[in-house]
Amino acid sequence: MRVLFTALPAASRFPHLVPLAWALRAAGHELRVATRPGGTGAVTGAGLTPVVVGPPAPARPAPARPAATPAPDDDLPGLALLDGPVDALAARLPPVDDAVDDLVAFGRRWRPDLVVWDASDYSGPVLAQVLGAPSARVLLGLDLVGWRRATPDRPDPLAALLGGALARHGAALTDEVALGSVTLDQLPPWMRLPVDHDHLPVRHVPHNAPAIVHGWLRAGPTGPRICVLPGPVADSAERDRARVLLRGAARLGVEVVTALPAGEAARIGHLPDHVRLHDPLPLHELLPTCAALVHRGDAAAEGAAIASAVPQLVVPAPLWDEPRRADLLAARGAALVVRRDRLTEGAVADALTRLLGEPAFAEAAAVVHRETLAVPSPHDLVPALEALVTERSARSVPAARPARPARAPVR
């Protein structure tokens, strides 16, 4: 079958799709990846074939961040977006209007049997709806869209985002556009929101490319090693937080490895000699050598640490679901959480001292890791996706989709 992946822009939203893409490719299926011009390097770097659609990704201002909210009575803390205005959720989803026409034009020529899409990129399900093809939504965060749609008397954040693109191509917004024909959820099952739609758990397999194992990494650490991922440092507030995280970790006197680019490090100021700068960072190779990971709630970093059984210190950014995932991980005993309004070098150093010094954190991280091994791998999901396409084909009217052009026989 033909499978089209969409992740716009691919550079930031494609890596967690790569293991599933290669599982399908290894099973013999044809595969393309739709990306904006800036995403081709991520796709070719993964050994896959990009199809360029739309213009370069537009610069988008950072969305207004929701204020912290107390835990509600339903025991679902950290979901401030769901209690805010409807556009607060939609504002975090990339627009599709400037790329979807190119995507539909390609889709009508290539005619994929299945569309696989990153949950933040709604160009994919728009295409699937126009073509009448099934689609698989891939989550790497909490299903806030599904949760909001399942909650009565709430406005639909997708209507304004997708209405124009769907109408131009004679389609309408449905639950299948919003949620896919099936949802593939890469979070641990105990993190999942109680939403009721077709859902397949899948193990998160970390992918970081390019991944070069240099000599210092091959040799392994001579003592405890801490990985610090400060995240974007585009403004002074983010640089201040990165400085606090790195200097706080450095207080322990152990080796600290960070993915911060050297140019940004210079803007942060002097860092001790035992802070190693390495960009890009082969996270799935590095973390097995680390005693702790410090990050801002990034789901890919969280998943990579779980895959390597590494305790985590999370300073969650209030952008999507970071505070709730951090709290759930801490409740399992595999992490500590420091809120941004309480972030100091001393707080970072104290938390890391606990993570490295109290065996219970490493033991809990090992338990969480073993639990993920019981979750199906991307390879295990291939038959389910094949069955989804077969079922849809059996229900389709033959005349609804014209036959593909005949191919010359292979001689």
Q: Using one digit for the tens of pLDDT, what is the confidence trace for 256-300?
A: 998 876 667 677 777 788 888 877 778 888 999 999 999 999 999
Q: Residue 407 falls within a domain, yes or no?
A: no
| Residues 6 or more apart in contact with residue 134 via CB below 8 angstroms | 113, 114, 115, 128, 181, 182, 388, 389, 392
338 with 292, same domain: the answer is yes
Residue 400 scores a pLDDT above 60: no
90 with 239, same domain: the answer is no
pTM, full prediction? 0.87
Contact 135, 128 (CB under 8 A): yes
193 with 240, same domain: the answer is no
Residue 304 scores a pLDDT above 80: yes
220 with 248, same domain: the answer is yes
Q: Residue 281 falls within a domain, yes or no?
A: yes
Distances, alpha carbon 227 to alpha carbons 75, 183, 304, 356, 410, in Å:
32, 32, 12, 13, 51
Query: Treating both helix axes as pointing N-terminal to C-terminal, what angle do 299-307 and 322-331 enclose, rounded to 10 degrees?
Result: 20
- Per-position b or e across 245-259, b if 16+ CB within 10 A of its CB: bbbbbbbbebbbbbb
249 with 174, same domain: the answer is no
Most confident of 11-20, 323-332, 391-400: 323-332
| Token pair for 125 | 């399900």
146 with 10, same domain: the answer is yes
13 with 149, same domain: the answer is yes
Q: Residue 291 falls within a domain, yes or no?
A: yes
Q: Residue 411 falls within a domain, yes or no?
A: no
Lay out the sheet containing 50-52: strands in order across. Answer: 50-52, 30-35, 2-6, 114-118, 135-139, 182-185, 199-201
> How high is the pLDDT of residue 10?
63
**Rounded Cα gap, residues 246 and 256, in angstroms:** 8
Q: Residue 344 falls within a domain, yes or no?
A: yes
Q: What domain count does the chain have?
A: 2
Name the residue range of residue 178's domain.
2-203+376-400
221 with 278, same domain: the answer is yes
Q: What is the CATH number of the domain that holds 361?
A: 3.40.50.2000
> How high is the pLDDT of residue 263?
67
Residue 73 scores a pLDDT above 80: no
Residue type, 18: V
Segment 212-247, tens digit of pLDDT: 777 777 787 888 999 999 887 777 888 888 889 999
220 with 295, same domain: the answer is yes
160 with 230, same domain: the answer is no
**Rounded Cα gap, residues 338 and 323, in angstroms:** 10
Residue type, 90: A
128 with 219, same domain: the answer is no
> How high is the pLDDT of residue 82?
54
61 with 173, same domain: the answer is yes
Q: Residue 320 falls within a domain, yes or no?
A: yes
